[in-house]
Amino acid sequence: MTRRPRPQSPPGGLLDWGSSTHWSHTPRPCRYCDQPTQLRDSKRSPAHKTCAEAALAQQAADAADAYHQDRTL
């Protein structure tokens, strides 16, 4: 079985929101922390980059825990 190389993270974090599609002139509450943000995620929902990265890290940790629990049953 051949392993695929892991994609490289952009400098400064996990997500690259350099595209103008991640910006809005209208601040709205972040979907994670409710503080105002002009950033938008890939589905155009308001989200701070750091909040979205923290949520992704938590999801990955939860998935890893679930995987390890299934393997020990």
Is 30 within the bounds of a domain? Answer: yes
Model confidence pTM above 0.85:
no
Sign for the pseudo-dihedral over CA of 61, 64, 68, 69 = positive
What DSSP state is assigned to residue 29? E
Residue ranges making up the domain that contains 46? 21-72
Number of domains in the chain: 1
Q: Is residue 10 part of a domain?
A: no
pLDDT per residue of the chain (73 residues) written in tens, 0 to 9: 455 454 445 455 567 788 888 999 999 999 999 999 999 998 899 999 999 989 988 988 888 888 888 765 5
13 found inside a domain: no
* Residue the block writes with tokens 């809005």: 24
